[in-house]
Structure 1
Amino acid sequence: MCLVYLIQANLPEASHGNLIMESRKALVFPETVEGLGEFGDMMLTMLPDDLAFTVFAPSEEAIRQSLKLKPHDSLSKDKYNNTYAIISRVMGFSTVPQHIPSETIPSHTERAFDSISGLKLYAWKDFDGTLVVNGIRSATVDMRKSEIIVHIMNGVLMDAAFEQSFASDEED
């Protein structure tokens, strides 16, 4: 029930044409996490920044490659609601309701976490000390926005069914 509240709290009204872009402006916050990009910023606005969360956020490049989203195109008025829905799903897969600084993850030993959507996340540090979650290596770790810890990942964490919906697009 908490996830439903978090996602619905900032959803733009699809039926009010011009309000879609106004809602988008309301989602942009002044304190951004460097290197996260517009989609990552969008993801973080879905979470209350005064509670303990850890987000394994995909890099802008990972979103472009895996989800085929591009900031200028995907955030346009006619595509905004679909993009918001996709990013909210990714947020659910990649967010854990607790603080997980990278130094708490052991080397060569998995630690399991449940994302807020219920996806099981397995985190460990590779031989070179890089944080890895479900086989996806991190690009940057331990960034913060208020109480939220952000690790930028070189891929998108998602369940198999959601991933399959994008795989079929690649085959066309």
Structure 2
Amino acid sequence: MERRKPRVLLIIIPCLCLLVLLSLNLPEIAPEEKSINGLYRKVMAGTGRKRVAGEVSLCMLGEMMVSMLPSDLAFTVFVPSEAAFESILKLRAGESLTKEKINNTYALLSRVMAFSAVPQHLPSSSLPFNGEISFDSVSGFRLKAWRSLDKTLFVNNVSAERVDLSKDEIIVHVISGVLMDAEFEQSLE
């Protein structure tokens, strides 16, 4: 019986963490706001120090997703591109952020964030070429990431459009799809 306790704790602790994240009283976001967190730094690996290559912004839905994470803790989040939000999740910033739809949009984004956020730093340079590494998202969803020989980042066979954006302690990779489990994907259809 004593051997089962660690396994039970490995299941219970991530579930409790997810419940805490999802139950936080998160702020309402006005649809007319253009940006929540502002600009992200494009960070390039240097010799011992990071160099800032420029500043970029995410789409409004991506900004909302990243704003759900605490900015003072190490996270990596794989944010869908604006095209992926529209084609896969059927979310458009103008329509999805109206007063009538904002709560549903926020709930959907928090679910996607749980599948897409990893509680550690994963810069693209730390991922192997043609050899994958596995890790769990905050929801326990298994993610596998690697880089192709042309240095394109892939996570669960979805390619990245932009990599290594950072805001405080959060690393953001913008991907061309949406990371989700089969059950959630089925619920969208």
TM-score by length of 2: 0.78
Structure 2 unaligned segments of length 5 or more: list them.
Answer: 1-15, 41-55
CA distance in 1, matches of 2:151, 2:127: 10
Specify the SS of the correspondent of 1:132.
strand
8 Å CA contact 2:37–2:63 kept in 1: the answer is no
Q: Which amino acid aligns with 2:87?
A: Q
Using the TM superposition, give the Cα deviation of residue 127 of structure 1 relative to its aligned residue in structure 2, in angstroms.
2.5
8 Å CA contact 2:163–2:174 kept in 1: the answer is yes
CA distance in 2, matches of 1:102, 1:121: 14
Q: Does 1:4 align with 2:19?
A: yes
Match of 2:38 among 31, 34, 37: 31
CA distance in 2, matches of 1:74, 1:80: 6
Corresponding residue for 2:174? 152
CA distance in 1, matches of 2:143, 2:37: 30
Q: Which amino acid aligns with 2:172?
A: V
Using the TM superposition, give the Cα deviation of residue 7 of structure 1 relative to its aligned residue in structure 2, in angstroms.
2.3
Corresponding residue for 2:161? 139
Specify the SS of the correspondent of 2:173.
strand
CA distance in 2, matches of 1:83, 1:29: 15
8 Å CA contact 1:139–1:153 kept in 2: the answer is yes
- Superposed CA RMSD in Å reads 1.7
8 Å CA contact 1:40–1:59 kept in 2: the answer is yes
Specify the SS of the correspondent of 1:163.
helix
- Structure 1 residues 59, 35: CA separation in 2 closer, same or farther (over 3 Å shift)? farther
CA distance in 2, matches of 1:106, 1:11: 36
Using the TM superposition, give the Cα deviation of residue 156 of structure 1 relative to its aligned residue in structure 2, in angstroms.
0.4
Corresponding residue for 2:49? none
Q: Which amino acid aligns with 1:85?
A: A
Specify the SS of the correspondent of 1:54.
strand
Q: Which amino acid aligns with 1:76?
A: T
Corresponding residue for 1:60? 82
Specify the SS of the correspondent of 2:73.
coil
CA distance in 1, matches of 2:120, 2:160: 18
Q: Which amino acid aligns with 1:150?
A: V
Structure 1 unaligned segments of length 5 or more: list them.
Answer: 13-22
Q: Does 1:105 align with 2:120?
A: no
TM-score by length of 1: 0.86
Higher share in helix: 1
Specify the SS of the correspondent of 1:151.
strand
- Structure 1 residues 85, 30: CA separation in 2 closer, same or farther (over 3 Å shift)? closer
